[in-house]
Structure formats: structure tokens, C-alpha cells
Structure 1
Amino acid sequence: MASSDAIRPPPQAGEAKKELPSVVAAKDHNAILLHAVDEAAVRAGLSIGLPLANARAICPELTVYDADPAADLKTLNDIADWCDRFTPLVALDAPYGLFLDITGCAHLFGGERALLQIVTNALSRRGFAVSAAIAGTSIAARTLTRHVSGKIVADGAEAQAVGPLPVSALGADSAVTTGLRRAGLKTIGDVAARAPHEISARFGSAFTTLLGHALGQGDAPISPRKPLPDYIVEKRFPEPIATDTVIALTLSSLAKMLVAAMDKQGKGARQLEASFFRTDGAVRAIMVETGRPVTRPEMIDRLFRERLDALNDPLDPGFGFDLIRLAAGRTEIVVQQQRDLDATVHDNDEISALIDRIAARIGGKRVVVHLPLESHIPERAALALPAQHHLAAASAAA
């Protein structure tokens, strides 16, 4: 489990003078407190939580920026989208952190150490201050990032790794942290040396659970932003691609790989998503749905062509895509039907394909079928349903 904390990038050139302390201030309970500080501010003796008036008294030349939680959250989500290239299991650890479940993924990037360096170096080049760590549990990794960056802890060694860290690294409530320090428990190791029932009696069971997770004694599951797709295929490029022809050929080859993987288990795709990762970190995802399970690569190719041609905001490669991924978010078992003698089956297939193509171009909610509905009011005697959903329900009933 990898965890990282990414702080908003420093002001752009011209916004603040070089070497002058800069802080972000936010209102908290009718008081304006420091919400974030840069290295120059730390050297000047400022810290998070300090009243702004006191900060100005300590450092009159202080540059202050208003906190913007909405912009911070958007930036964090953008970073999470970029991190999808490493693992599909990315969770937010608001307000500044991310959890990446890299189980089974690290070897694709040269190992855990290489993956950690790739992530931190790429974010640092974009102006972010990053602290990252890898551990067997998410809480242990997050605890390490608060005081130690670049640490990789083997499974079972979490207690030894976090023991020397101060209790503030756990991220518990400030009242709990203050109480621990007053009791003479300054490090996580000091707290872990006490009996669990003593800690629970004074600081609550929630803190005891948090401490146990940091020590590697169990773990709290993360909540990924996106559900894990049933099937994923992708192609990485040593040199970024930007032409429509190469993008189309890549999607076609990925469709063949995806169908081959699904065919081994007799499944077809009902929901497909193509993700395009740009070299500058931007990610564009395009989704299509089908009324019946799709088992032909040419059909997938055609659906995405229809969708790409109909985009109001065309696909912008920027400086090029270095990764294109095709995922089947929802699949179903394909029911084999007699097609040689039953003309109705062929007609249904053609109708389903037509509906899917139209829905890919104008949207699934705009292609409807009107079903009879019992009502004495003529205007309400019909019910409009998405044609794709009705087709799927009819197929299941058959």
C-alpha cells in the first residue's frame, strides 16, 4: 500500500517575491489561521494553525493566499486521475493525500523503489511538494509520510518503522495528541508499549484501532474512487502519439485483446471505457454502453468511432498520449442462440447494434422506447424507457 501527500504547487512566477515566506490562510471558528506554509515560512518560525495576526507580527513581509478547498479537491482528483496509470485502485485521503493499492503492480514499473521514485519525481517536476511511503497497511504508509519520505517497509515491520515517530504522525485529534504528550508518551513506540485497554480507557477505542493499524495489526480497507473493471487492457508508448490514425489503430488492437480475454470466460461487454493519458498528466475518459453483451472487436471499434466523432469537446492529445487503456466495466455471460434458422435473432442483433451506435453518438438517454402503461389519462398511457435498458431486460426475459 502506497500513500502520498501532495501539497498545492507554489505560486507562479510574479505572484510572490523569491525567498519571501508564503502561507495559505483559512477561517476557522471566527479566527483566521494558517492553513499551509512553505519552507521559507517554516524557517521564519511559522507553523500550521498559527493565527494570521501572530504570523504577521513574526514576519511582516509575509505573503498570504486565501484557502480554496474546492480548488484543492479538484487538484487532488486530477492527481488521482494521473495515478490511475499505476494502479486502478486509487483512493482519496482528503484533504491532501492519496492511497494507491499497488499489490501486483509494482513489478510492472521495475519494483517498489522504482515506482516510488517515478511517482514522486513526476509530481515534483510539476511543482508539488510530495512525501510518499510504501507499507503493508494504508495507515502505516500514511503515518510514515508525515515525517519520513521515501520509506519502504516490509510486511510485518510496520511497528519497528513507525515506533520512533512522534505521536502527531498518527493524525489523531489534537486533544488526543496533547493528552498523550502530557502523559509522557511522545512517540508511537511509547504508546504501543502500554496495554491496549489502558489506552482505550483514556483515549477511546477509535484511537486504539488507529494505533493498531499503524503498527500493522490489521488494516482499514481503502475506498477506491472507481470500481475495479472486470477486464483491463492497455498499451504504453515509448514515444507519445498524437495522430488520429495511430489512436484509432491502437483502440482497434486493444479491442481485439479485450474480446480475446472475455471470450475465454464466455463473456461480453456491456460497459466500455477508453482512457487516454497525456504526457502532461491530463486524463480523458470516454465511456460507451451497449444493450447486449458485445463480443466482436469491430463493434467496439465502431462504437468508439461514433462516440469520438460526436464529442462536443474533441479529444485533444496535447503533446501526445503515452498510455491508452480500454476497460470493460461491466460484463455479462453470453447466451448462445440458434442463429442459422431463426431470422428473429438476426433482426434483434441488427436492431441492438443500431441502437448502440445511435446511443454512442447522441447519448443513451435520448434513445427511448415507449411501452404501454395502464392509465385513464391518454398522455400518461405510455412510459418512455432507455432503449438499451429495455433491450437488455427483454433479452434476459427471453
Structure 2
Amino acid sequence: MWRPLPDQQVPPTAFVEKVRGAMRLCTLDSDAMALGLAPGMALADARAQVPELRVFDVDAHADQDWLERLCDGAARYTPMAAVDPPDGLMLDISGCAHLFGGEIALMEDAVARLLRRDIRVRAALGNTAEAAHALARFPGRPAPDEDAAIRRLPVAALRLPPDSEASLRRAGLKTVGEVAARPLSTLAARFGAEAVDALHLLLGQAAHPLNPRRVAPAIQIDHPFAEPVARTEYAVAALEQLVAQACVQLGERAQGGRRFHATFFRSDGLAFPLRVETSLPVRDPPAIMRLFAERMESVSDPLDPGFGFDMVRLAVPRAEPLAASQLALEGGAAKEGADVAALLDALATRAGRNRVLRLAPVDTHIPEQGQLALPAIESRGPAQWQAPPSEYPHAPPTRPIHLFDPPQRIDVMAQVPDGPPHRFRWRRALHEVTRFEGPERIAPQWWKIADGQLEKPEQDRFLTRDYYRVEDARGRRLWIFRHGLYGTERSNPAWYVHGLFA
């Protein structure tokens, strides 16, 4: 269904991109196409034909971001909202239409919101997502029913690759009905099985589930307003009520939330999402609202009500078991580490979840992979660092306190080619080795190489290593290794400094 904008004195618009060193038209509005312009035309030819043409550079990332924001706003109608690149949205309104007065009323409300933002839009209803997509992108004459309207559509509605579509046209098949009239075995043999699959999907003879942008959360609570609210403080107060209700539901389930998503829906169709995350399950409304306050202060795009918010939604997409806790008799914290977890939550909310990290041990014999820097807000199971054997309680550590990433190359002199280092040059300084321990041989991950999990550059990084703990004449202790073995993996193995001891 076509809904044009009100008459405005806006010149025709086109987006251009560089193709083989020349600027060519990529996307055009309907006014530019009505004047004879077409995608692929050179920009110079287009300007000669339409001097008043407005031209903008294509920005695929900005277009995708804008489409995703519109999809988030469409979540007011149904949780099954998906992006249909490069310029479409798919909404599964099954079971939701009655909340808005029916399917036609829901569609007209969605179109009206987009029109208020000067967006030209075509919308259509269909029994399947493919049918709605085709009817919206290829509008035609009125038809007695949906099946008849689909069969009148051009073969481009099948969304086949360009070469397959061209083959159908050369065969004289110009509409979906003409394709459907041919035997399926003939279509599959001449145009491939994908043509038959596309035809079945468009005619509703096969199912293709919609992939929503947001997965349905465990808990979702809405707070609609009778009239658009122009004050952000009032909308935040409504969010506080929703948080309290969500915590009550979490308590009934003996759970705590790990992620909380708040969405402020504006009357013009845009949505402002705010998301917070916790390192431990929580159901404390003041603590959750403090995180939302931190998020509001740190976002680059402020919470602008515009013409007003008409609904606030709170979702809890991730919840975990949380048993009831009891305070100590003398008072104090109910759970050890709660203060540290609250601090981590606040820092990660303000600075970003990937800015606050913690080191987690990994069960591997590769030194540089023995620990991973992961977001501190992600909870992991308890793990213990490898301790020295009990029979040697005062033995020196086998691993240095600092590792270089990547290891630093050194020049080594040894008494025999495969013997311990005798003297080496590192950072333009000569080091005389007075004591050494080793070698400690660390073999490569042969099971990954055998299974083909490591490419050739990765295999070169994991040759056999012989590690030595050495001490130079000045008392500095270093961890160095020989990368490769003589006569097997490398004819002239290289030496590296991998770490420093205390």
C-alpha cells in the first residue's frame, strides 16, 4: 500500500558510489526515477539530464544503523520484528493485531509514524513474510485475493540471483503466475532448485520462520501513556515502577536479573534503548536504577523526548537462579563480594563492558594462552591458578610475572647449537649468562595441526620451544626460548625473550 508524502518542494535525490573509479548512481528516490534516471547511470550524465539533482555519498553503515533503530521502534507492535536489508522491515503481527484495532489499523499506525519523519514507505499485509515483502515492493492493480495478487507480480518478486532472473525472462516467463504454471521438475532442471524453493515460499506452500532482531525476553513489562510525555523525568519515574514490578516477578521465580533492557518509545516512531548488565544476579530496584542512571549519563546520544514518549518498556532477557539471602547477626553485607560486584557493575556501565577486564585462567600448556582477559562483568565458574608442588614450597616460580606480547627477538651465542644460551644481545645490550635452568620443552598443539584447525601462519607460531630460566651478570632473571629444533623444523631456530622474573 503506497502512502506518498505531502507535496513539498524537494528536488530529486540520488545516492552515489564509486565504481571502477567513476561515480555512479546507486539509489534513487521516486522523483529521480520519474525523470528518467536509473541506478548505474554515471553521475555526470545524470547531472546533465537533471541539473537540480541532489547527490549524497552512500553510507552503508549509517543506513544499517538507521534501519535497526526503526526496527527497534517497530517492537512496539510485536516482538517478532526483523530487519530486511537493505531498506525493509518485517513484522510478524500474529496475535498482536487486536491490540491496535486490527491488522489494517496496525499497518496504518506504523505507516503514519514513518510519514511523520518524512520517510516514503510502502506497506502490505500477507499471510507469509515473503508475500508481504513482494506485495509491498511490487505494488500493482487491485486483485480479488492475495493469491491472485501474488501471481500478477513480476519474477523479480521471487528474489532470485540476477542471472537466474534474467534466465526466466529470456524463457518468456515474466510473472510469478507464469512460473507457477510450469511443471516443477522442468523449473528445477532448467533454473535450479532455488527457483522452486522461492516459488513455494512466495505462494505460501513452504514455511520460512522469521528471524527477529530481538529474542523474546524472559520478562517484559510495558507502561503506555495516555498522552505523549514530554518530560524525561516522568518517563524515568515510569521505568522505576517497571523495575520494581520486574523484581517482584523475579522474586516469585527465585531468580535474579543479569541484563535489563529499557526502551523509550517516542511518538514519532523512534526508540531509545538503554541496556545495563550485572556481574551477579540481582533483583534490587535501587541498585538497578543506579545502573540506569549511570548509563543515561554516559551515552553519547542523550535521551531526547522529541514530541514525547508514548510508552516505556522494560525487558529482562537474562535471568539466573538467586536464592533468598539473610543478613549476618552483627549486620554487614549479605553476601561476600557484593560490594566488589556493585563496583564492577558501575564501572562497566559507565566505561563499557569491554573496558573493565579480569584475568581468567585457561587449561593450556601454551604460555601466552594461559590466561584470558575477559569482561569483568561476565561471571565464570571458579577456577584455581596452578600452584607449585607441595614438596617444594619455597621453589622459585616456573613462570615469570611479566610476559612480552609478542616475544622479543634476541641474538644468542651457545656452546653447542642446541645447547643452553651462553651470551645474548637484547635491546642493544649484551647479557652474560651466569646461571641457567632448563630446558623445559613445550611442544606444539599437534592435535589441532592434525585436524587442520591451524592455518600455515598459525602453525609457524607453535613450533617446538625449549625454554630456559637464565640469570645474567647483573642479577636480572629472564625467560628465553629457542623456537624450533635443529635439523627438524628449522635449520636455524630463532631465540626470543618471553618474560621477566621478579
TM bin, normalised by shorter chain, reads 0.7 to 0.9
Inter-partner Cα distance in structure 2 for 1:281 and 1:296: 32
**Could you say which structure has the greater relative contact order, defined with CA pairs below 8 angstroms and 6 or more residues apart?**
1
Q: Give the corresponding residue for 1:248.
A: 236
Q: Give the corresponding residue for 1:102.
A: 93
Out of 316, 333, 343, the position equivalent to 2:321 is 333
Q: Give the corresponding residue for 1:232.
A: 220
Task: Please list the CA deviations of residues 226-280 of structure 1 after superposition, one character each: whole Å capped at 9, or x if unmatched.
Answer: 3332221121223222435423321121012222333443322111111222334
Out of 58, 63, 67, the position equivalent to 2:53 is 63
Q: Give the corresponding residue for 1:130.
A: 121
Q: Give the corresponding residue for 1:92.
A: 83
Structure 1 pair 296–145 and aligned structure 2 pair: CA distance change class (3 A) = same
Inter-partner Cα distance in structure 2 for 1:372 and 1:343: 34
Inter-partner Cα distance in structure 2 for 1:207 and 1:267: 49
> TM-score, normalised to structure 2's length?
0.63
Q: Give the corresponding residue for 1:292.
A: 280
Inter-partner Cα distance in structure 1 for 2:35 and 2:358: 68
Greater mean deviation of Cα atoms: 308-317 or 242-251: 308-317
Structure 1 pair 181–310 and aligned structure 2 pair: CA distance change class (3 A) = closer
Q: Give the corresponding residue for 1:214.
A: 202
Q: CA deviation at 1:191?
A: 0.8
Q: CA deviation at 1:368?
A: 5.8
Out of 242, 247, 258, the position equivalent to 2:246 is 258
Contact 1:274–1:324 (Cα < 8 Å) also in 2: yes
> Given the alignment of the two structures, is residue 200 of structure 1 paired with residue 191 of structure 2, yes or no?
no
Three-state SS of the structure 1 residue aligned to 2:77 is coil
Inter-partner Cα distance in structure 2 for 1:53 and 1:372: 61
Structure 1 pair 359–118 and aligned structure 2 pair: CA distance change class (3 A) = same
Inter-partner Cα distance in structure 2 for 1:373 and 1:23: 53
Q: Which amino acid aligns with 1:273?
A: H
Structure 1 pair 363–121 and aligned structure 2 pair: CA distance change class (3 A) = closer
Three-state SS of the structure 2 residue aligned to 1:393 is coil
Inter-partner Cα distance in structure 2 for 1:236 and 1:181: 51
What is the RMSD computed on CA atoms of the aligned residues? Answer: 4.2
Structure 1 pair 246–175 and aligned structure 2 pair: CA distance change class (3 A) = same
> Given the alignment of the two structures, is residue 139 of structure 1 paired with residue 130 of structure 2, yes or no?
yes
Q: Give the corresponding residue for 2:107.
A: 116
Out of 361, 367, 378, the position equivalent to 1:389 is 378
Q: CA deviation at 1:224?
A: 2.8
> TM-score, normalised to structure 1's length?
0.78
> Given the alignment of the two structures, is residue 301 of structure 1 paired with residue 292 of structure 2, yes or no?
no
Q: CA deviation at 1:33?
A: 5.0
Structure with the bigger percentage of helix: 1
Greater mean deviation of Cα atoms: 228-237 or 110-119: 228-237
Give the gaps of 5 or more residues in structure 2. Answer: 364-368, 384-502
Structure 1 pair 67–158 and aligned structure 2 pair: CA distance change class (3 A) = farther
> Given the alignment of the two structures, is residue 356 of structure 1 paired with residue 345 of structure 2, yes or no?
yes
Matches within 5 A, 1:22-61: 22-28=13-19, 33-49=24-40, 59=49, 61=51
Contact 2:70–2:271 (Cα < 8 Å) also in 1: no
Contact 1:133–1:149 (Cα < 8 Å) also in 2: no
Q: Which amino acid aligns with 1:261?
A: Q
Structure 1 pair 205–245 and aligned structure 2 pair: CA distance change class (3 A) = same
Q: Which amino acid aligns with 2:58?
A: D
Q: Give the corresponding residue for 1:148.
A: 139
Inter-partner Cα distance in structure 2 for 1:382 and 1:32: 49
**Higher radius of gyration, 1 or 2:** 2
Give the gaps of 5 or more residues in structure 1. Answer: 375-379
Contact 2:113–2:269 (Cα < 8 Å) also in 1: no
Q: CA deviation at 1:344?
A: 9.2
Matches within 5 A, 1:342-353: 346-348=334-336, 350-351=338-339, 352-353=341-342
Q: Give the corresponding residue for 2:310.
A: 322
Matched positions, count:
378
Equivalent pairs: percent with the same residue?
A: 38
Inter-partner Cα distance in structure 2 for 1:6 and 1:67: 26
